[in-house]
Amino acid sequence: MRFTRISPIILLLVAFAATPVFADSVYLKFVGPGGNNSGGVYTYPYNFSINNSPTYTPLVCDAFNNEITQGESWWATVTPLLNAGGMWGSSDLLDYKAAGLIFEGMAGGWIDPNAGNWAIWGLFAPNAKTNSAFTGSNAAWLESNYLNQAANDPDSAFNGLVIYTPVDGSQSWGGTPQEFIGYCSVPEPGSLTLMGLTFATLLGAIIYKKRLVAKPVAAA
């Protein structure tokens, strides 16, 4: 059997092209709620397996009127929170920023997850504010306080926060899933630049070595 020698440059190019160094969409599977509930619904955290990872990621829901079920899966686009490219659009950037700060407070343990999640729901769904769980907690104060803080905080306060927006029609059950907010789980642009530079350097070294070896030697 005849074997053809493949250039290491071609192998490197193929390997690099086949490696998803950055994805603007991820595969989400809802593993289950964390146990907190208020007003007859579960609140933060919602635990997810992202891209079939065995490590679960806690996210917070911002879509009160959408429903999901345990074990459901779907594809979601991932955008930085400051881009406000999610389900509610750029006109709700301030609401997204307030929701991100509340999420950080819940994740850090200084905001009650029930009141915090109702405050986030109230930012995007007016009917959530009529629920007794919203009116009976300090959700209204949290909403007002963090809207004010979000309007004054620098952009650096939102570093790492991303929006997971469902791709309609990709769900394994029911209607359009909920949207979630969490921390970034994909490479930052700086990391991608470094990876690209590393690849370019390695490729250049291979080409240079190949030319050096092929250079004819003049007779003395």
Give CA–CA dist 10/15, Å, rounded.
9
Q: Are 120 and 131 in contact (CB under 8 A)?
A: no
pTM, rounded to two decimals: 0.75
DSSP string, 182-211: EE--S--HHHHHHHHHHHHHHHHHHHHHHH
What is the pLDDT at residue 107?
97
How would you write the pLDDT of the chain (220 residues) with one tens digit per residue?
Answer: 333 343 444 333 333 333 333 348 999 999 999 999 999 999 999 999 999 999 999 999 999 999 999 999 999 999 999 997 888 888 899 999 999 999 999 999 999 999 999 999 999 999 999 999 999 999 999 999 999 999 999 999 999 999 999 999 999 999 999 999 999 854 444 444 444 444 444 444 444 444 434 333 333 3
Residue in 55, 89, 80 with CA at minimum distance from that of residue 155: 80
Instruction: Indicate the domain borders of the chain.
Output: 1-22+193-215, 23-186
pLDDT at 89: 83
What's the burial of 94, exposed, middle or buried (CB within 10 Å: 0-12/13-18/19+)?
middle
Q: Give me the pLDDT at residue 204, please.
A: 47
Please give the Cα distance from 204 to 210 (Å, whole number): 10
* C-beta separation of 38 from 116 below 8 A: no
Token code pair at residue 200: 């370019």
- The answer to whether the CB of 78 falls within 8 A of the CB of 164 is yes
pLDDT computed for residue 84 by the predictor: 79
Closest CA to 179 of 53, 60, 17, 49: 60
Phi, psi of 81 (to 5 degrees): -55, -40
